[in-house]
Structure 1
Amino acid sequence: MLSGAMSRFQRPTDTAEGQRATTLELFYDLVFVFAITQVSHLLLRHLTWEGVGQSALVLLVVWWAWNYTTWVTNELDPESIVVRLMLIGVMLASLLMAVAIPEAFGDRALLFAGAYVAIQVGRHAFLAFAASGRGTNERVRAERILTWFVVAGVFWIAGALADGSTRTLLWLIALAIDYGAPLCTYWVPFVRRVTPEAWQVQTAHFAERFQLFIIIALGETIVLTGATTSDLELTTERAVAFAVAFLTTAAMWWLYFDYVARIAERRLELAPNRTTLARDGYTYLHVVLAAGVIVSAVGDELVIAHPGDVLPGAEVAAVVAGPAIYLLAHTLFRLRMAGSISVKRLAGAIGCVAVGFLGGVVSGLVLALLVLAILVAVIVAEQVSGQRRAGRGDLAPLERLEAEAGGA
């Protein structure tokens, strides 16, 4: 078995379950506000299938850099000076990566890939050789992860030095290695396998960090719509479009934070397979939620810029796809966390796609209003369902979960 010895920079275990995000972690997140804005602008400037693919790849890279740091800070003590210095170094490299995003597939490919590789390899080299003693869980895990990052890093750097389709192919291979690693628990040939139990997920802190990333994405939407509106003449149509964009963002906030975030956190806390559930529900599925918010922000900007116009097909797709992706991600998240399907949110996602077929005959503002109406309808339907359940004397989902936990 792996040694039970702790990292010299481990979070205090006596209060870990009650710990929350620190100011250093919030400071670190500021870089990713900028990075998400860069991804949105990249998609906005290249609203083609190729641009969508490039934007998706860049988002997955940004997410993977942030995600691993979150897993690390879930166990390490941010009050340690050494950990602080490590995080500030990762933050600087993340900022360089974000700066390179607009030309990630152009002249700044090496800066983009090099900064990303430096983040991943540097962070886990620190964990493997500085933070942990020989034979500890932390060192064994970090060595396995570091091995995978080094292998993927070869493809990232090779892709940055290549051009065109060769670069894309090499980067897709690198991305597959990065995203496939957790699924096989960082298996390395001829070395004893590390099991999911080797990770200890501190639920309160872990769930809060991923909730904060959704706030980052929603905040970027507010910034993008506000900046777009301030640069244009404020007509009546544009003012309405701005209000619709804000209310759409507010509806997205409501859909996640009204009860989903709390129930998911509690399910994670009670799960016997906490590490695997955290990996699937948060590491993999939350990036889909973020993608929905980002695409929605792009759609909002297009509608604000041209509220009275019938939008081209690609722009119509952006307006309806963002909320559709977001609702579909909610459906998948509930399926993984609770084993059930949210029929209302799935129907909402289908409704958003259906509205897109009207894009060729209605203005961008009308299209955005229809999408907002669908989001509001989902919220209202869930509220009515909750009131009816309360009227029957049935337990709310969180109350039922607590009752099941108490009777276990």
Structure 2
Amino acid sequence: MSRFQRVGDPHEQRSTTLELFYDLVFVFAVTQVSHLLLRDLDWTGLGQSALVLLVVWWSWNYTTWVTNELDPESGVVRLLMIALMLASLLMAVAIPEAFGDRALLFAGSYVAIQVGRHLFLTFAAAGRGTPERMRASRILIWFCAAGVFWIAGALADGSTRTALWLVALAIDYGAPRVTYLVPGMRRVTPEAWNVSVTHFAERFQLFVIIALGETIVLTGATTSDLELTTSRVLAFAVAFLTTAALWWLYFDYVARIAERRLELAPNRTQLARDGYTYLHVVLVAGVIVSAVGDELTIAHPTEALPDAEVAVVAGGPAIYLLGHVLFRLRMAGSLSRKRLGGALACLLAGLLGRDLDGLALAALVLAIVVAVIVAEQVTGRRRRARGEPSPLERLDLGAA
């Protein structure tokens, strides 16, 4: 057992003020990613923004797994979190020039977060010979291996930097898939992790809120700097309602059902890894792209948008809906046809949107997302009228 293990009933554990304080850094980081994408709306900019988002997500994600087990009331854990915040803030500051003059600050901060955290877990938090130390040491080895490529990439230039960073990213994201296998060492099994479901699911739900909140901030900041014409006010309203619809799609019932499925799963660690660690970043990416689309629509409500901007306006909600399809497929083993249809409809709207102005395109995408919500509500009412249990009730009946 860790020397700083959480105590008490795991079902009663909730996010702490320390964790919420830590999340504030990532509000800024997500905003930085949005601005990076907005600055370069081409394939290079898209690829760089995606890589930066995956780095930001991976640093937050691992800290969430750690705080799912460590006691936030411990002074030592608090100091660790504050140190991680500082390094995360430096990483976020470097994002606009992550592929330029601040590459070393960006990569170095990220490596310091990952390696530093697991040095603490390996040599300070876990006792000698414990499963916690074995687990932390294996993860540390993988982070050190990836760190070589992160730092080497920061010291290189151009395509060489990109190639080295892609190798580093592949190592980081591939490690959980092989359960941090290290040749010559005993393999870590999924049972080595103890997932406190309520706290764990809530933390990932809160990151979705962070992304949605960044959309609100970006929408408000953009509108406040521009002349308030009728079309711009309408574009502002459409942007806000789209963000509200994205919130509805996740928090109306998906979050609760997914949490319950995770609680009942015999393979809880693998399900948490796949559904939350890997797939939630797709949801976050969709929200970020939507935020950029909202800003473009508000700035140019009566103009026909260039192809790249049309792709962003329609692509953000499409990515978000597709993320939901993948999330349900992994958590429940079933296909969400309505959300898949919504994603495809958003992509079709993007093809048609080349002949529409920004406001009309955004309104069309909003109508599609709302149609998905309405269709699901109608299905739910018809199910209740037939006296059938809801998906959440079916889970509870099966567990009884």
State if a TM-score over 0.5 links the two structures. Answer: yes
Query: 1:135 Cα deviation (Å)?
Result: 1.1
Of residues 151, 155, 162, the one that matches 1:157 is 151
Amino acid paired to 2:131: N
Of 220-229 and 134-143, more deviation after overlay is shown by 134-143
Which residue does 2:69 correspond to in 1? Answer: 75
Partner of 1:275, secondary structure, is: helix
> Does 1:274 pair with 2:274?
no
Q: Distance in 1 between matches of 2:115 and 2:355?
A: 51
Query: 1:319 Cα deviation (Å)?
Result: 0.1
Partner of 1:140, secondary structure, is: helix
Which residue does 1:119 correspond to in 2? Answer: 113
Which residue does 1:8 correspond to in 2? Answer: 3
Q: Distance in 2 between matches of 1:16 and 1:384?
A: 36
Q: Distance in 2 between matches of 1:360 and 1:322?
A: 16
Q: Distance in 2 between matches of 1:221 and 1:93?
A: 24
Q: Distance in 2 between matches of 1:394 and 1:261?
A: 21
Which residue does 1:333 correspond to in 2? Answer: 327
Amino acid paired to 1:45: R
> Does 1:380 pair with 2:377?
no
Deviation sequence 1:189-209 (CA, Å, 0-9, x none): 000100001100000000000
Amino acid paired to 1:256: Y
Amino acid paired to 2:167: I
Q: Which runs of 4+ in 1 moved over 4 A?
A: none
Query: 1:32 Cα deviation (Å)?
Result: 0.1
Q: Distance in 2 between matches of 1:71 and 1:222?
A: 28
Query: 1:138 Cα deviation (Å)?
Result: 1.2
Instruction: Report matched runs for 1:72-151 at 5 Å.
Output: 72-151=66-145
Query: 1:17 Cα deviation (Å)?
Result: 2.1
Which residue does 1:348 correspond to in 2? Answer: 342
Q: Which runs of 5+ in 2 are unaligned?
A: none
Partner of 2:354, secondary structure, is: coil
Which residue does 2:211 correspond to in 1? Answer: 217
Q: Distance in 1 between matches of 2:167 and 2:245?
A: 37
Could you tell me the percent identity over the aligned residues? Answer: 79
Which residue does 1:395 correspond to in 2? Answer: 389
Instruction: Report matched runs for 1:312-327 at 5 Å.
Output: 312-327=306-321
Deviation sequence 1:326-377 (CA, Å, 0-9, x none): 0000000000000000000000000000001112211010000000000100
> Does 1:54 pair with 2:38?
no
Which residue does 1:237 correspond to in 2? Answer: 231
Of residues 29, 39, 46, the one that matches 1:35 is 29
Query: 1:386 Cα deviation (Å)?
Result: 0.2
Q: Distance in 2 between matches of 1:17 and 1:387?
A: 31
Q: Distance in 1 between matches of 2:134 and 2:10?
A: 22
Amino acid paired to 2:275: G
Query: 1:136 Cα deviation (Å)?
Result: 1.2
Amino acid paired to 1:143: S
RMSD: 0.4
Q: Distance in 2 between matches of 1:21 and 1:69?
A: 13
Q: Distance in 1 between matches of 2:237 and 2:133?
A: 51
Partner of 1:86, secondary structure, is: helix
Q: Distance in 2 between matches of 1:138 and 1:22?
A: 23
Q: Distance in 2 between matches of 1:361 and 1:195?
A: 54
Q: Distance in 1 between matches of 2:354 and 2:31?
A: 28
Deviation sequence 1:236-259 (CA, Å, 0-9, x none): 000000000000000000000000
Q: Distance in 2 between matches of 1:126 and 1:239?
A: 51
> Does 1:200 pair with 2:186?
no
Amino acid paired to 2:85: M
Q: Distance in 2 between matches of 1:155 and 1:248?
A: 39
Of residues 264, 278, 285, the one that matches 2:279 is 285
Query: 1:101 Cα deviation (Å)?
Result: 0.0
Query: 1:137 Cα deviation (Å)?
Result: 1.5
Q: Distance in 2 between matches of 1:382 and 1:230?
A: 35
Amino acid paired to 1:221: T
Partner of 1:359, secondary structure, is: helix
Amino acid paired to 1:288: V
Instruction: Report matched runs for 1:351-362 at 5 Å.
Output: 351-362=345-356
Q: Distance in 1 between matches of 2:134 and 2:218?
A: 43
Partner of 2:195, secondary structure, is: coil
Instruction: Report matched runs for 1:244-255 at 5 Å.
Output: 244-255=238-249
Q: Distance in 1 between matches of 2:11 and 2:94?
A: 37
Q: Taking structure 1 as the reference length, what is the TM-score of the superposition?
A: 0.98
Q: Distance in 1 between matches of 2:225 and 2:313?
A: 20
Query: 1:227 Cα deviation (Å)?
Result: 0.2
Q: Distance in 2 between matches of 1:125 and 1:141?
A: 12
Query: 1:176 Cα deviation (Å)?
Result: 0.1
Of 237-246 and 131-140, more deviation after overlay is shown by 131-140
